[in-house]
Each structure stands twice: as C-alpha cells, then as structure tokens.
Structure 1
Amino acid sequence: MARVQIFLSAVSAEFRSYRNTLRRDLTRPNVSVAVQEDFVATGTETLDLLDDYIRQCDAVVHLVGDMTGALAQAPSLSVMSRRYPDLGEKLPPLGPFLRPGAPSLPYTQWEAWLGLYHGKRVIICAPEHGAHRDERYEFVPEQRDAQQAHLRRLAEVERYPGIHFANPDRLAVEALRSGVFDVLVAAGLARRVVHLPYPSLGGLFKGREAMLDQLRTSLASGPATGASAIVGKALHGLGGIGKTRLAVEYGWRHADDYTAVLLVGADSPEALQRNLAALCSPTVLDLPEHQVAEEAAQVSAALAWLHRNPGWLLIVDNVDTEGAAQAVEALLPRLPGGHVLITSRLSNWSGVVEALPLEVLQEADAVEFLLARTDARRRKRADDAVQARILAGELGGLALALEQAGAYIAQRRLTLADYLAAWRGQRDKVLAWYDPRLMQYPKSVAVTWQTSFDQLDEPARRLLLRLAWLAADPIPESLLKVPAAAAETGEDVCAALAALESYSLVTRASTAPSFTVHRLVQAVTRSSASVSALAEVLGWIDDAFVGDPSDVRTWPVLDPLLPHAQAVASHAEECGIATPTGRLLGQSAVLLLGKALYGEAEPLMRRALAIDENSFGAEHPDVAIHLNNLAQLLQATNRLAEAEPLMRRALAIDEKSFGAEHPDVARGLSNLAALLYATNRLAEAEPLMRRALAIDEKSFGAEHPKVSIRLNNLAQLLQAINRLADAEPLMCRALAIDEKSFGTEHPDVARDLSNLAQLLQATNRLSEAEPLMRRALAIDEKSFGAEHPDVARGLNNLAQLLQATNRLAEAEPLMRRALAIVVASLGVDHPNSQTVLRTHADLLNKLGDGKEAFQEY
C-alpha cells in the first residue's frame, strides 16, 4: 500500500491551532503530515530541507493570512536558483525575486511556489472576515500587504484560494473535501462512499438549479458543526414537493466534493437510530461492528467513522414528526466535521438549523418535465404542449404528482389528454395509483400527507377540512375572524392555522395577511369529507361575503374572497345544496359585473337564477333579483331584446310579492326605464322613471343615494328631449346627495359629475364642464383601474370637449385610449365601441390623417 506525504504551510503565530487540528485529522496509517518547524536546522538550510520534502510529498495545504513569518535566507535562495534554473520561466511571478540583491520572500510563500513548481496538488486557503487567530497573532500592515501581494502573484498563474475558513474544524472539513481526500483515494488509503436510495434524474431534474446553488452556498458558508435543512414554510416543505429528490440530486452532483455521501431515513427517533446503525453494513461503510448485535454499538461505530473522516455529507431524510426532529437536533452536536442536510415538512427549527424553503415547480419547468418524462412512451398529439400546461396547472407544480402522472402515462401509453380526462373523471383513483419501481417515490399522492394529517389536533383538522373546499388562491386571514370559522366550542383558529403551517400544510405569505393550501392537499382532504362539512363551509363563506358587491367600497374585502366563494358554491352546486349557493353565485356575479368582467359574470348569473328558480319557484323575489342582474348584464353587452322580457318579468314578480310601492319595485321600474331610454322609447320611459323616483323618495327620504340614481336617470332623459333647464337642477341635486353620502371620491359621484359636465357642454359652458370631466375621470381611474369601460366613457367625454375647443392634438390620444378600452371590454361590434370608433376616425380626419381614419372606418 502506498504512503502519502502532506505538507501544511502556515505561519504558526497566526494559525498554529488550525494547523494542529488539520494535522490531527489527516494523520493516519501510511499518511505522514509535516510542518515547517520539522525542518528548521541551522537556518540557512531550512529552505533546502523543505524543498526535499515538498518534492517528494503528494499535497501542500497553504494557509495565507495576515502574517508572513520569517524570510528565507540568501544562501538558500542561491541554492534554489542554481538547482532550478527554469524556476522563473515556469513561474514568472517569481522572476523579480530570483535576481541578485532582490528582496527575499518568506519561507511560507516559498512552500507554495515550490509545491507548484514540482507539480504537487497545492490547496490555497484564506480566512474569512472575522475568523479566529491564535494568541501570538500580531497585525502588521506591511506583512498583511505582503500577503495580499502574494495572493495576487498566485492569481497570475491562476491559483486562487479554494477554501475560506472561519475555524479549525471548518478548515479540516474543507481541506479534505477540496483535494486531500482525492490524494488518499488515489493511493488506496481511503474510498469515497456514496450511499443514496435513487440514481440521479439527470436531464429530468427540472427547475431546481437556483435552489441547488443556494444549497451549495448555504452549506459551504455554514459552520462546520451546523446543519442546513430543506424545510417548508408551509407549502415550501409540503410532502411530495421534491425535498428528498433535491437532496439526492445535490448529493450526486457533488459526490466528488465529499469524503462520503450518506442518507439515513428519520421519520421517527427509532428509525434514525436503526438507519445510523445500518451505515456499518458491508454495502455502506463496511465497519467491523456490522457483526455486532447491539444497535447502540453500531451507531457509535458509525459516528466514530464520521469523526475520523471529516468532509462528508449526511442527508437526514423525512424528519416529519416532532419526535424525529427532537432526536435529530439532539444528534447534531455529535456530528462535527461535515455537512448535515435535513429534509422535513416541519417549518419550525432551532437556531442551529438554517431553514431553506423549497417552492413548487414553476409552470414552465413542470411542463418541460411532463413532456420529457413521457417522451418515449406517451401517444403524442399536436397539442401536447397545451395539454401539458393544463395538466401542470391542475397538479400545482407538485413534484410527486408530476412524476406520478408521468409514470402513469408511460405505463399505460396514454396521451396527455387521456390522463387529463382520467384525472378529472376519476381523481381519487388516479391519486391512489402507485408503482414504486416506475416512480421511485415511497408513496402515492393519495397517502403522502397521512403522516402530517395524523399529527394534527382536532381544531387543526377541522380548519383544514374547511379550507379544503376553498380555491387554491391566497386565502385572506381576515376570513378566520368570521365567527363561523371557529367551532361552537370556541376553538382557537389562529393556533389551528399555526399548526397547519408547522406541518407545511399551508403557506403563509410574508408580505400580506394571507395563506394558501396546495390544490392537491385540498383534493385529498375533500375525498374524506362529508356533505355536512361542505354545508358548514358554505355558510362560513356566505357569512363573510357581505356588503353590496356593486359598491367599490366593499371590493377590498370581497375581491380576495371571490375565488373562494365561487369554488365553494361550485362544490355545493355539485352536491345539490341550494341555499345559500344561489345567493353566493349571484353576489359573485354582481361583483364581476361591476368590474365589467361580463364573460365571467354571465354564467354565474345564469346558474344562480336556475338554482333559485328550482328551489323557490319562478315567482320568488330572489328570482327577481337574479333576473334583474342578468338583464343589466345583457343590456351592458347590447343584447337589449333579451334583457327586456327579463326586466318585465322581474318587475311583475316584485309588484306581486311586495305591492306597487316597494323599493324593489322602484328598482325594477328604474331598470326597465333605462332600457327603454337606451332603445329611444323616451315617452314610455319617463313615467316609469318618475314613479321609481316617487317610491324611493317616499321609502328612503329625499337625501338617499337611491334617490340620486333615480334623479340622474330622469335628468338624462330630460336632457335627451332638450329640457335642459329641467334636467340641470336634478343633476345638481343628485351630485349633492352622493357627495354627502359617499364623499367626494366615489364612482357614483364621478357618474354625477360626468352627467352634469355633459349638460354644461350641451349648453356651451365648456370652461365649467372641463374640470368636472377631469375630476370624474380621476375618480373612475382610481376606483376601477385604467382599463374599465367607465374610464373609457370619461376619456371619450373629455376628448370630445377638447375637440369642441379645437384642442385636437390633446384629444386624440385620449380618444385612442378610450377606443382600446371599449373594444377590449365590449367587443368591436358594441354600439359604444362603434360610437368611439366613428368619433376617433372623424378626429383623425380633422388632424389630416385620412389614411388611418379610412382604415378605422
């Protein structure tokens, strides 16, 4: 068996403790380790003796700090120059120091240059900022400058510090990892052990490069005795997210950087001990103790091997219970000299473990994986990329679910569309499918979270069961404050949420009071839930979804609840729960209508109408509400012939249900009158408007916002029939009511300002109209955002006023923007779009751009 010689190059006054620790860890049978003091003779012979040893050694570990140590003597330098006449040629940075009378270099610097000259493995090490120095350390600026110059000269021959250390143990670990161990392996004095349960995924490992880099940085910069944990902060450590796969892939990619790469499962304290003991086996560390019956003796032997062979990576896998976590944290102090990488669903760790959250795969990476994983065996179709994107979205980027899908498709030679159909039609069956050989995962999606579920207390289970019916969108924490969130016994919902987070079953946002639950956790949880649980959740969301959704002041509360209201209502509809499903769908639709999201609102309105008609009969007042809402949407989208019979039917229901003087009747009269106005049946519309106004003034008083709506409608009709003097006081009165009721920044105030401004423009009071228009536009942009049809209305009104005052260049960009908004919202064939299109083309003509105007026509 070959012998190995290693030389440690360091200034003892600065780094004696580092050098001693390193010498202790490297010295073993057939390995000798020397330091400079071993060669001090008469002083003039030291460099000559050092050269003899370095020429025969296998590696030089060179520590460069702030101190230079003693300078080499001139006679020794003369010997080196004569012995190696090509020294300056092979190492040009040494040239200036080989000339007669040139300044001398310290012995420690010569040790590195001689190692490089002789072609030895030279490992250059530099301390981190703030690293410990020995007691004899003395800071001398000139010496520090000399050492920095030495590093620059090394860089000229492309040699740089490969190790940065902060303490002796860290240096020992990194020195072995950074080349010394390779020397021992090459000499047959050590073997590199790689014991991992799965092979590398190679090109199938997608979307984790940044995380691998982060993990590398974290492990390389951490203390020698520390640990890094891939643990979840909620979903980031969710079971099946790919924590073990990431750790294994890291192990394979960096296997040559470690003396050993080992993985032990630790889903319980007993499993941790059992798997540590198993490291003694002939197929892993091959220790004599593998024949010993006592597990404790085998564990001690395995830990002793780790002590003797620093520079290893130990993956402690599936630390998913509190008991297992306690056992692992108790073990960490017994594991100096390597990197400990923990995978866990637990998010709470002590300060000795750095938590590195792991995210689900991004959509593009998930799509790329699905296509690559199934490439050899799936039945391919032209739309595979589209189907893969849909499937990736439904699986929520969860690594386990993606692998399960890929294996299932490959085994059965399906198309991606086939799998999607099976997923949607037989989800429970697909979630439970499992083939360990094909998947190389320990569990299917259907059972992978059972460990976490089993550890939850009753309040946490109850909360998860409720959250399972919601959408996969962020859930506002304010929802938990709704009384129905707590059980009748008054359970602590915040504590329940914290428990779910601790097991990575929810992800809490760091920048907003919200959290999410992965869609597959929801699906698995729902599979064991009852219809009564769904009914509870439906009531909970209904209690939270309060306020008038057509009023922008409620939007900050209702917007984050909207996807959850729709999700719960859909589940309830499938289960035949009618109440309050119809109301919830209807209210969601009204919110969408207010945002001009007509395509999303209409199907909800029709479903709400069908549910309540079926539940309450065709003549119920709730049916009238849905009819009115749907009719308004139809009118907004220019389907006036469809809208009118719905409005008349709703009005008849309300008159029959409440009598002729009820506010709901006034609402129906007002809606029908607005439609008649839109179809130029002004004579029919006016009496309906006046009747609606009278009912609301009687019901609510003269200063109510509903009265303002009726006043506005009547005023616009009067303006249309050229009774401007009658219209203006009604508009002014409506504006005063709304400003008093809502303040000066409400969209109803913007509507009033816009109507009044148009009347002022019609009466040639343009200077009075313009500031009102600008104010109305500003309110609508702030309330609805820049792309709402009401903003387009304000832009177009202002542009026409500017055009009337011959400011055509100012008007054109406003009108162009209005045109883009209305076409995007309503379609190019809508009358509003056509109106703006014509006025814009006319304006372009006036600006002399006849070609573009012709194209628009």
Structure 2
Amino acid sequence: MSQFLTPEAASPGGGVPQPVTISFAGFDRAWAAWIGGLLERRGHGVVLQRWDPSVREPLADSLRDLTLAPGPVLIVLSRWYVQLGPRTHEEWNAALREVAATHPGRFAAVSVTTGSLPTATSALAAVNLTGIGADEAERRVLARLGLPDTPVQAPSPEGAPRFPLDTSEVWGGVPRRNTRFTGRERILTDAHQILQDAARGTGVVTLHGMPGVGKTQLAAEYVYRFGSEYDVVWWVDAESRASFRLRVAELATALRLDTGPEYGERLRAVRDALRRGRPYGRWLLVLDGADEPHQISDLVPTGPGHVLITSRNPEWGEHNSRMLEIGVYDRAESVAFVRRRAPRLGRPDAQQLAEALGDLPLLLDQTAGWLNDSDLSVDDYIALLEGGIDQDIVKVSQDFPLAFQTAWSILLNKLRETVPESVALLGLCTFFAPGTIPVRILRDLDHQAAPEPVAGLLRDPLLWNRAVNQLRQYSVVSLDSHEFSGDDAALPGEAFYLHRMVHQIVHRDLPEADRAPFAQVVRAALAAADPGRPTDTRLWPRYAEIVPHLEHAQALESTDPAVQNLVLNCLRYLYLSGEYKTGVALGERTLEIWRRLVGDEHPRIWDLVHHYANLLRAGGDFAGTEAIERAATERLRALDGPRDLAYLRSSSGLAADLRGLGRYEEAYQLSTEIMDAYGELLGDQDSRTLSARNNVAVSLRLLGHYQRALVLDKDTMERRRELLRPRHNWTLSSEHSYALDLRLVGRYKDAESLQARNVREQRLVMGRDNPVTLDAEHNLALCHYRLGDREAAGLRLADLLDRCERTVGENHPLTLRLTVSQSCHAREHGDVDQARELSESVLHRYTTLLGPGHPFVAGVRANHALVLRNVGERRDYARYAEQAYTDMARAVGELHPWTLGCALNVSAVRNVVGDPEAAAELSRATVDRATEALGRTHPLTLSARIANAADLRGLRRRKDAEKIEDEALQDFAAVLGAQHVHTISARSRNRPYWDFEPYST
C-alpha cells in the first residue's frame, strides 16, 4: 500500500502538517470523532465534514466538492455513507470511476461495515476497522495515512471520544439503534452543541413535539452518535414520577455506590453522585416520555453531565431546559425513510405516500413496513385512505393527523389476516397505561378465566410469541429494554413499550364487546400482582410498577374486593413512600367513583377516606382534612357508637387535623379518649393502642409538656420493640420521637446518640429521601446544633432543605420546618441576606397555609424579628417581637415554652427601646414561669436567668445580678458542661435569645 500522507503532503515546506478532512455519514459520527482525536494527538489539524449530498446534485459533483479541502480526505465508508440520498450502487460506481481517476492520491478510506459496498470503492483502498480492538484499529488508520504508529507520550485528554466499539463504562436501558433512522441532522447537531456549550448544572435539552414524530428514536440516535463522549449513559422511563424514581435508583448498582437496598436511598445516592461528578463526570441521562414536568422537574439531576428529555409538553422551557421542537419529516427525509423501510417502492411512490400520510414518522414507519410485504400498490392504498374516512369521525386528539385513523384501520386489518391474536394482545395492552407495560403479569393469570382469544394466548407460548413478533414487525410495539425491579427479572417479550399515540387510537377503535372482558383481565392481573404489604419497603418497587396502570385498567370502577384492596394498598404505599401528589390525585378520583358505586356509608368508603385524608394531611391541608374527618367521625359515631374501631380510626385522623390547626388541647383530649378506648377494646399491647399512645405524646409535646411526652414515648418505644421487629417503621418512629423529647428536655448528648443510630436505620428501611427519614435527619442536625457542632449542623440543614424541596415541594410542612431551621442557622452563622429571604418566605407561606392566628405563624414572626435585629431595623424588630409574643400567648398560653421563648426575646427588645424596668420585670416573670413549666435547670430557664441577670445589671442592681448569674452559670456547667457553647456564651455575658422550632404534628 502506498503512503497516503507523504512527508511533503503532510508538511509542505517543513511547516505545520496539512489538516485532514474526515468525511462521514451522521450515523458514523462516533468513528469520525475517534479518528479525529487520534490524529489531533499527533499534531494534525482535523476537519469533520458530515456527508449529506443533495439528491438534486449529481453524486460525482458532491464527491468532487470534497477535493476543495486543502489537505487529504479520509472517507469513513459504511452502508449509510453510500445510501444517503438514497443512492444506488450503480450511481456510486460511476461517480467513483470519474472522480477517483482524476484526483489520484486525494482520497483514502476506512471501512466500518461488514455489508456490501459498491465495487468501485476498491479505488479508495479502505482498511477494515470492524471486529478489532482500539489499538489495532489505530495502527491501521495510521498505516493507511502513512503516519508512524509510535506511541503518543501525552495521555488522551479528558473527554476524548471513546473507541466506537467500546461501550461506555455504565450503559443501561438504551433502546436498540434504529438502523432505518433518517435525517434530523440539524436537530442532532444543535442538541449536541447546546449541551457541549452549557455551563455546569445547565446541560438540559428537551426534544418536544406531537406524538409520532420520532422523539424517542431521535434521542436514541443521539446516544449512539455521541455516546462515546460519555462514561455513563442511562435511559429513564419518565412517564410518571414513580417510574422515574425507580429507574434512576437502579443506576446506583451500575455506579457501584455504597447504599442500602431501598430505592429511595439509592435514588438519593445516585443524584448526589451525578451532582458531584463522582465516580463519573461525563454522564448522560435520557428522560423519555416526560410529559408531566410539574411531576418530575424537581428530580432532574444537576452536575457536570447532560440531560436529554423527550416530551410532548413545551412547559419544560419553564424548568431550565433548552427546547428543540421536533416536527414531522421534511419531504426529502420522508422519501428517504420510506425507500429504506420499503425497498420495493420507488421515489414517486415514496413521495406520494409521504404526501398522503403528512410526513409523520411513526405512521410512515408502520405503513411502509407492511406495504413492503404487501402486493398492494401505493395508489390503491391512498385510495383506501381517501375513501375510508367518515366525515363524522372525531379525531382522537388534536395532535393526530386525520389520515392516521384510516391508516390504522388498514394496518389492523392486515394484522387480523395474519395472526389475529396479535390484535387481541394489542387491545389488551391498551388497558395498561401507555409506555412501559409489564405484560409478564398476564402470563401468571389463570387462562381459564380469560375470554378467547386471550385465553389462547395465555395457554400457548408459541402463539404468544407469534403475536408479539407480528406486532414488533410492523413497529406497533417494541420490547422494553428496562429491567423490572423485585424478585422477577424481565424476560424477552414480557415487557412492551407501546407508544401513546398507538395506545389511544387502538383503544378508541376497540370493539365494544371486547372492552369489559379485556379490562377485567388486566384488573385481575394487577390484583394478582399485589404484594399485599404496602408497609414493607422492600415491596415498594412492585407497587411503583402497578400504580400507573390502575386507571387505564378501570380498577377504580371495580367492585371486586381484591381490586379494591389493591387500590387501597396502592394509596397506602403512596403515603408511606412520600408520593403525596400522586396519592392525593388517585384518592380524590377513587372517592368520587366509589361514592357513586357503593354509596357514602359503605365500609370501603371509610377505608378510602382514611387513606385519602392521610395523604391530604401529609401535604399540609389540615383544614380540608378536618372537614372530611369530622364528617366521617360524626357519621360513624351515629352508626356504630364511640367504641367502634372505624370510628376510633377516623377520630385519630381528626385529632391529627386538630394538631395541624394548632388546636392542641382539643387534640390532646380526643387522643386520650382514643387511647383509653383502644386499651379497653384491644389491650395495651395491640399496635393500634400503641399508635394512640404515640399520638397522645405528640399532643403533649405540642402543648409544651416535654417531660410527660418523653415518659410516654419511651414506654411506647419499648413496647413496640417487643411487639414488632426493631427495624419496623413504627418502632423507628418511636425512637425518633423519644430522641426529639430528649433534645427538648435538654439531654442533648443522649438525643444525638439515639437519633444518629435511628437515622442510619431509617435510611436502610425507609430510604434516604423518604420524608420520614428527612425528618429524622432534621432532628439529628438540631442535636448537632445544640451540642455546639454548628458547622456539621449547617451542612446537614442545607443538604436536607435541598433534598426536601426536590422530594415533596417547597410548601410541604417538612420543607417549611427545614426552612425555619436553615434561616435561623444562616442568621447566626452564615448569610444574613439569605436568612432574611428565607424568613420572609416561610412567614408568608405559613400565614397562607395556616392562617394568621396559628402558633407557627407567631413563632416564625419571632424568628424574623431576630433577623431584623441583625440587619439594624430596630423599629420593625421591636414591632415583630412584641406581636409574636402577644400572638403566641393568645394561641398556647403564658406557660408554654414557645411563649416563654418569645418573652425571652421581648425582654431584650425592651432594653433596646429604652425601657429597662419593663425588661427586668418581664425577664423575672419569664424565669418564674419557665421554672414552673420546665424546671429550674432546663436550658430555656437557664437562658431566662442569664437574661434576668443582665437586665438587673442594667438597672445597676449588681449584687442581685451577680448572684443570679453565678447560680445560673453553675447550673449551666452542671447540666451542659463547662465548655458547652451555651455555657461559654453565658459566661461571656452574651444576651441569650430563643429560636422558634415548629414540630411535626
């Protein structure tokens, strides 16, 4: 083989080597990028030129244009390169003979295909790169270009393209490459350029457009063209929040992250790893079918990697994503695609078909596929289209072209003629949600209960496979490449992907006689797949698979007890897993339907109301749930009396609503009645009695009776440890409550020790991002803070707030509590501007959510007064502090610790405004009340004693001040330790203050 780059050609005059132009089809970009990278490392300039000759221009002219490049031209030969246009082998042979003969030495080639190429390509002396490793491929490229293959000393730069035959380090869920992919070059280039130019954390592009335009195929092609630039490529089904979380969580194993088994914990670990860029910084996540941005936008990861989204919804533009609209094919793309999909059709036929079908890619794919196997002419097919449309037909969606309905009727007739069972299977699939369909659960059904021909499919594996293959042949369904979680691994043909557009049109055209039997089959399959234990976190992935299909299977309309149990279990799962939005929507729809089906007083209604109210309450709608639960308790009491178990359960919910509304004394009285009733009916060791004891302790805590709550929580915790397993979620809940009580009574070390262990267990059992775990971590952060480790507390609080906002939203009660803590920490140890912004925000949100008279509103107003103090706004500082004190005393009484804390702050205010006598009087009264309510050595009482000493010193009553201060300092040292931050601060005569902390209700 002669040298291609001679020394003279490579470096005329001994200067810099001439650039090499690499001509490639877009399909083979990864090869071109890799070759370009190895040449650049050897000092050669490289020009990558995508080959896309105009069909209107002679092929020889397009080839001749390549010779205008100043240096040599290296062609990446493949079937794609020679078929673009598309062009025949005869055209290529003629063009190569003409151009190669007149430009000797200007062209060389590498071959990246094992398929047949035009015979005249032999003039390019291509070296074969298929089926070999990177080192040998590099040697062959260099040899063909006449370059030495001496090793390059410098390592490959970070981000250098990977050898195309090597997959990314982590690769998962990506659909098979569509070897008929056509066009879309500008969009692919634009998407790549946007992502490459994006700053860290902003690399998000959304491909949006109507159904059927090929968004998913376009995203898959992007992966195969540019995937060599990434170490991690992960495909995510993003049609629902649950499927999104599940699929991202599965990446933890692929990244070899050290996490527990719960998917919530794995999800958090994955997002942290992607954000940090460790262990891989070059990552690409594809979120396919993300049509509900408000459901998942908070979960989209940030970091050094990239996110590619496919969606029908243009609202992604409001969620920090660059938008690229995907329309139908242009006519040239349509024609090229049809001719590849149906080789028997010539260009005029392809143009005619594209015109008739509106250039819609999905419709072209399905129609051309079966036309290629049919002897029907395009003219006859178009006549069917034109004559088969009834003017009275209503479109399935404004997104769909009118011709689609008739085209589908023709295709379905074709399927019925070959394997009629495939149409039954397709119809059955439309009673699942579109997208990923776990059809494997159908295989476990008793086929005797299914109607024909479904029963035939279920009992005959060969017939099942024939039907599946028939649907795949015409691109009606594809086999889903995602693996299902749980004990059962997905097998080939047991998970489908059904496009939303196909789903809707097939479902609409399903015969009325088939609808009820098919829905019954899917409902029965879903009910049979119910694990039956929504409290078992190990089974949550199975529920995550089931939930999206409930409504499509008409499970909400079913009166079958097994199906109704499934719905209730799914609601319970959604509540426990923290999927509150999804749960509220499902509960609301189910309640409306069940009331119509079984009436307002059916026992199932009371079960449903219980779960629905739990979900509403978890989101902070206490007024709404109070109305629901009060109506339920009144009716149940009238029906069955005050000792009925359904009444007691509903009353427990009502007590929780009262706590949320700040009506703590009412909640305590009701919770005590419920506890006593459960004890009489079921005994002290029943789990319901223990739950009632837990609720009484919650009410006591909110009333400020910390020591009484601690005693009751400790007893409940010990009983639950005996009755339930140590890692049961209720046992862990009691541990958290007891640790919270320990902190509130001032036993900070004991609280921190127990809470740290509890957090580790919560992460394992509930998952890292479950709201219960986040709440436990919040208490641990505050334990750190009270022990003086302010830096650790600050880092944890900031992280928790970010995670909580992403998990449950910025207006969730837990997010609001975390915002309060973060604002207080920022005020004293961070950014006072951030503290003010957070404080103003949370005050507004609490006022909106709970009303101006709620104790939480008074508490955050007291905190905001301290922010105003720090920024020097003395008048507003005094006004806010005094109003908080007045409102808190009115809401919870003068002896409540929250009121005492407000009084502590106001005594300082009165000194600031020049009334030291009033300050001393208030601080003295606060000491007396705190001693009565909390004890002489409680940290809040000690702070009040230090404040009173300062006030007396301001009145020049030094002897009294010193006596009070000395005694308080001795108690500080005895209770908290001589080196505790509170002790040191008191010794330094820093004026103490109090931060309000809202507790979980």
Structure with max Cα Rg: 1
Q: What is the TM-score normalised by the length of structure 1?
A: 0.49
Q: What is the TM-score normalised by the length of structure 2?
A: 0.43
